[in-house]
């Protein structure tokens, strides 16, 4: 586990971080470490997060040689363990972000670059050609202020003019009050510094957060005690499940999906391949998204092949609220970019999206691998219209 906040070389860590993850272990924390040196690690994906106070945790480490043929995250840190850069790559080339991206809110762009000055860390979002990238409403960076123990006490998202703006989690500013039990109170604010209800799957204005073994969330408890969400994880930090409870300890619905809980399953490469929404009895249930969960399939190199809705038995189905069963994806020969998205029925046959009235999206790219045009086709593959960025 590696906190995204710089700890001076002579600092004493309160927690012994595991060297198995993106760690800043105790051996690095001494006066002999050098910020001039660089260490690079390679991972198939990053653990999902709900709070910007969570750690960046790499899942399924691979070697440099293996990474040459994979979509992967490349994590660079200095000799003292502080993050310098997190990049999303295919082989040796930075990979453009698309909806198949398997990172988290720390990394909403192809690159995140870390700059340190005293108690402040600025993290900048860059695209795959190292230009400023935007996330949330118009955020191109965020600044972290930390206390004397290296813990974050404020996150602030900014645009290119250094003005507060809404970031990927749905707020412009977050503040933390750390408690003696190791947890902390997280409070969200908008660009006018007024409290705002926002966040990822679990939206709140203020909540008590508890953290587990990897510096990842183990519990969210709203400050008014109306909701408690408990997380379970695999040894590598991957989320196994979560369950929601009310103030009395009874099962309740929560999150954007408005369900009691979710179970997650992964393939041998660490990719999420199955998600199930559950009711109070632990049985598959219909979510607010209009389906019971999904199944995914991946190429060996990490590029996603398909996304399909799954019913209570785990079979592919077309939810009535959706009108199609899933999507298939095709990739350019070099694996860097997606060139085709298909909407399909339960047999994998093209079907027109019931609201959008198209079945296929073809992507064209400029010399810098930016999308230059999208061409939309119907289920007979007849061209309908085109869009340019």
Neighbouring-strand partners of residue 145: 120, 154
Q: Which of 198-202, 283-287, 355-359 has the lowest mean pLDDT?
A: 198-202
**Above 70 in pLDDT, residue 339?**
yes
Q: Is residue 377 part of a domain?
A: yes
Domain housing 335: 318-389
Condensed to tens digits (0 to 9), the pLDDT of residues 300-332 reads 999 999 999 999 999 999 999 999 999 999 999
pLDDT band at 6 (very low <50, low <70, confident <90, very high): very low
Asked if 21 and 58 touch (Cβ cutoff 8 Å), the reply is: yes
What average pLDDT does range 287-299 have in this prediction?
95
Q: Rounded CA gap, 46 and 102, in Å?
A: 7
Q: Is residue 336 part of a domain?
A: yes
Q: State the pLDDT at residue 20.
A: 26
Cα(70)–Cα(90) distance, rounded to whole angstroms?
5
When pLDDT is averaged across residues 344-362 and rounded to a whole number, the result is 97
Give the SS3 label for residue 26.
Answer: helix
Residue 5 has pLDDT above 60, yes or no: no
CB atoms within 10 A of CB 312: 13
Asked, for residue 341, whether it belongs to a domain, the answer is yes
pLDDT tens-digit readout, 111-140: 999 999 999 999 999 999 999 998 888 999
pLDDT digits (tens, 9 = 90+) for 240-263: 999 999 999 999 999 999 999 999
Is 54 a residue whose pLDDT tops 50? yes
Owner of token pair 């966040």: 199
Token couple for 253: 């619905």
> pLDDT confidence of 180, banded at 50, 70, 90?
confident
Beta carbons of 334 and 95 less than 8 angstroms apart = no
Mean pLDDT value across the chain: 88
Measured distance CA(137)–CA(156) in Å, rounded: 13
Angle of CA points 130, 132, 138, to nearest 5°: 155
Provide the CB-side half-sphere exposure for 302 (13 A, CA).
29
CA 156 vs. chain centroid, Å, equals: 18
* 3-state percent helix, strand, coil for the chain, nearest multiple of 5: 0, 45, 55
Contacting residues for 208 by C-beta, under 8 A, at least 6 apart: 179, 183, 184, 185, 219, 220, 221, 222, 223
The least confident of 2-6, 30-34, 37-41, 320-324 is 2-6
CA atoms 24, 26, 27, 30: torsion sign? positive
Is 385 among the domain residues? yes
User: Band of the pLDDT at 85, cuts 50, 70, 90?
Assistant: very high
* Continuous segment of H or E residues that includes residue 30: none
DSSP letter for 67, please: H
Put residue 335 in one of left, alpha, beta given phi > 0 → left and psi -120 to 50 → alpha: left
pLDDT at 358 over 80: yes
CA angle 235, 74, 45 (to 5 degrees): 40
**Total number of domains in the chain:** 1
User: Is there a domain that residue 283 lies in?
Assistant: no
Could you tell me if 123 and 154 are in contact, meaning their C-beta atoms sit under 8 angstroms apart?
no
Query: What are the structure tokens assigned to 367, written together?
Result: 């010399």
Domain membership of residue 350 (yes or no) is: yes
Residue 255 in any domain: the answer is: no
pLDDT average, residue stretch 181-204: 93
pLDDT at position 19 over 80 = no
Comparison of pLDDT for 150 and 89, the residue scoring more? 89
Residue 64 falls inside a structural domain: no
Q: Is the pLDDT confidence value at 289 over 70?
A: yes
3-class DSSP state for residue 348? coil
**CA dist., res. 246 & res. 290, Å (int):** 24
> Residue 15 — very low, low, confident or very high, per pLDDT cuts 50/70/90?
very low
What's residue 182's pLDDT?
83
């Amino acid at each position: 586990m590696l906190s995204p906040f710089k700890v001076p070389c002579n600092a004493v860590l309160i927690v012994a971080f595991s060297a198995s993850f993106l760690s800043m272990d105790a051996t690095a924390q001494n006066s002999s470490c050098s910020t001039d040196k660089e260490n690079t690690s390679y991972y198939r994906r990053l653990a999902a997060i709900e709070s910007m106070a969570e750690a960046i945790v790499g899942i399924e480490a691979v070697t440099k040689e293996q990474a040459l043929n994979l979509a992967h995250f490349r994590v660079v840190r200095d000799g003292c363990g502080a993050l310098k850069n997190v990049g999303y790559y295919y082989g040796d080339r930075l990979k453009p972000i698309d909806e198949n991206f398997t990172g988290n809110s720390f990394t909403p762009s192809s690159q995140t670059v870390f700059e340190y000055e005293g108690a402040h860390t600025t993290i900048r979002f860059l695209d795959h050609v190292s230009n400023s990238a935007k996330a949330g409403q118009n955020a191109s960076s965020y600044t972290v202020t930390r206390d004397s123990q290296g813990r974050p006490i404020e996150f602030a998202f900014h645009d290119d003019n250094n003005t507060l703006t809404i970031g990927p989690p749905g707020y412009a500013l977050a503040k933390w009050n750390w408690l003696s039990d190791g947890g902390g109170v997280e409070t969200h604010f908008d660009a006018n510094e007024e409290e705002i209800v926002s966040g990822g799957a679990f939206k709140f204005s203020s909540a008590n957060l508890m953290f587990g073994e990897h510096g990842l969330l183990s519990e969210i408890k709203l400050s008014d005690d109306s909701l408690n969400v408990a997380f379970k994880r695999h040894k590598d930090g991957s989320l196994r499940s979560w369950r929601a409870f009310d103030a009395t300890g009874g099962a309740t619905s929560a999150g954007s999906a408005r369900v009691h809980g979710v179970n997650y399953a992964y393939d041998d490469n660490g990719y999420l391949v199955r998600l199930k929404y559950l009711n109070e009895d632990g049985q598959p249930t219909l979510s607010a998204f209009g389906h019971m969960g999904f199944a995914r399939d991946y190429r060996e190199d990490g590029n996603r092949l398909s996304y399909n809705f799954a019913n209570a038995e785990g079979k592919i189905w077309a939810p009535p609220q959706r009108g199609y069963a899933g999507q298939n994806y095709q990739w350019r020969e070099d694996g860097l970019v997606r060139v085709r998205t298909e909407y399909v029925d339960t047999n994998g046959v093209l079907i027109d999206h019931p609201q959008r009235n198209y079945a296929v999206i073809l992507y064209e790219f400029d010399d810098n691998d930016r999308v230059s045009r999208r061409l939309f086709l119907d289920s007979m593959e007849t061209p309908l219209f085109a869009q340019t960025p």
